């Protein structure tokens, strides 16, 4: 997987003037999931507010978490033990969100 190239700094920080509009058809807004999938915060341009931010990571229960929970439940770990996967960050998916507008940008799913 290629390493993401570092983003250049914004040309006019704080300047919210809209860019000039050209009559060249519909404007393409690049909203995509970055190639990197990581549990660590990453540099990213928020597609919602346009800021260059470092994502805020939040562990969220994923498929793996639920499978482990079910497995532990089947083997008799009823008294709260089956909830253990929800307390272990390394067993959960990671949600990356924007610290400015609080929107979730993408989610890292564990293999």
Residues that bind Zn ion (CB under 5 A): 46, 48-49, 98, 100-101
Nearer to Zn ion, 33 or 49 (CB): 49
DSSP 3-state of 6: coil
Give the nearest distance from C-beta 52 to Zn ion in angstroms: 10
Burial class (CB in 10 A: 0-12, 13-18, 19+), 104: middle
Q: Of the candidates 34, 35, 29, which has an alpha carbon nearest to the alpha carbon of residue 50? A: 29
Q: Is residue 97 within a helix (H) or strand (E), and if so which, with residue range? A: strand 93-97
**Residue 58 or 86 with smaller CB distance to Zn ion:** 58
Question: Strands (DSSP E) along the chain, which ranges?
Answer: 43-45, 52-54, 56-60, 93-97, 104-108
Closest distance of CB 103 from Zn ion, Å: 6
- The CB-of-49 to Zn ion minimum distance in angstroms stands at 3
Question: Between 91 and 105, whose beta carbon lies closer to Zn ion?
Answer: 105
**CB of 33 or CB of 67, closer to Zn ion:** 33
**What minimum distance in Å lies between the beta carbon of 99 and Zn ion?**
8
């Amino acid at each position: 997987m290629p390493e993401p190239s570092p983003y250049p700094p914004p040309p006019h920080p704080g300047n919210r003037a809209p860019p000039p509009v050209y009559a060249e058809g519909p404007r393409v807004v690049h909203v995509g999931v970055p190639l990197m999938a990581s549990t660590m915060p990453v540099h990213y341009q928020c597609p919602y507010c346009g800021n260059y931010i470092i994502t805020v990571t939040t562990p969220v229960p994923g498929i793996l978490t639920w499978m482990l929970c079910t497995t532990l439940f089947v083997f008799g770990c009823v008294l709260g033990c089956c909830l253990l996967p929800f307390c272990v960050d390394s067993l959960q998916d990671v949600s990356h969100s924007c610290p400015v507008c609080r929107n979730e940008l993408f989610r890292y799913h564990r293999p």
